Amino acid sequence: MNEDSGTDKFFHLNVEVRGLLEHSYRLHPQIPDELKWTSNPRIQLWDEGGGWDTPASTLTVYEPWTPETETRRIVREAVWDSDGDLKSVYKHEYVSPTIIVRDAYVSSDKYKLFMEQLSQCSISFMSNSGEGRVDDDVDVEGFAYFSADDPAAAIRLSWGLEFPDDWQGVIEIASELKSYLRSLLESQGE
């Protein structure tokens, strides 16, 4: 039987990391259970870390099941601390992904304002320009919205350096939302 190459091990580790980041509610520490959080996110922002300047990460906003606590939301940041993991892979050692998790409560009207702004956006799903661009080592970022239904309906956008012109508004709001959520994590971490 052939032993996996370093490239194969990196690929498998990368797939495992992406799954953990996307489903960060499974990571420890557990999200506080007193509000009966759903495992379905409402909003998720991600950075795939492909440009090597930024680690792969997600910011996910979860809401509780119960109507009486609907104004309490939690944001979970999950960041892959890839330096040590990649060194182990290059040495052909198995490694469990090292993911750093931070949580903060989101209970302000500012979050609702972001949701209202996003609900007003209108975008095209396809571009008929026929032109394309290929770049190596470029960060790919994304935004996803999930309905409160179970199973949830979802809209996902993912972009690199190029994207359709009419996505600009959504991308700007997503960037502002990302900054806002990170500021909550910073202020509650003090």
Q: How many of the other CB atoms lie within 10 Å of CB of 183? A: 12
Nearest to 5 by CA among 97, 89, 83: 89
Token pair belonging to 144: 């996803």
- Residue 73 CA, chain-centre distance (Å), reads 16
Q: How many of the other CB atoms lie within 10 Å of CB of 103? A: 19
Phi-psi region of 120 (alpha: psi -120 to 50; beta: other; left: phi over 0): alpha
Query: What pLDDT, on a 0 to 100 scale, did the predictor assign at position 137?
Result: 55
Q: What's the pTM?
A: 0.84
Per-residue pLDDT of the chain (190 residues; tens, 9 = 90+): 445 566 777 788 888 999 999 999 888 887 766 555 666 788 999 998 875 667 899 999 987 665 565 567 889 999 998 888 878 877 777 778 999 999 998 877 899 899 999 999 888 777 666 565 555 556 789 999 998 887 889 999 888 887 888 889 999 999 999 999 999 999 987 5
CA angle 92, 98, 102 (to 5 degrees): 170
Query: What pLDDT, on a 0 to 100 scale, did the predictor assign at position 79?
Result: 95
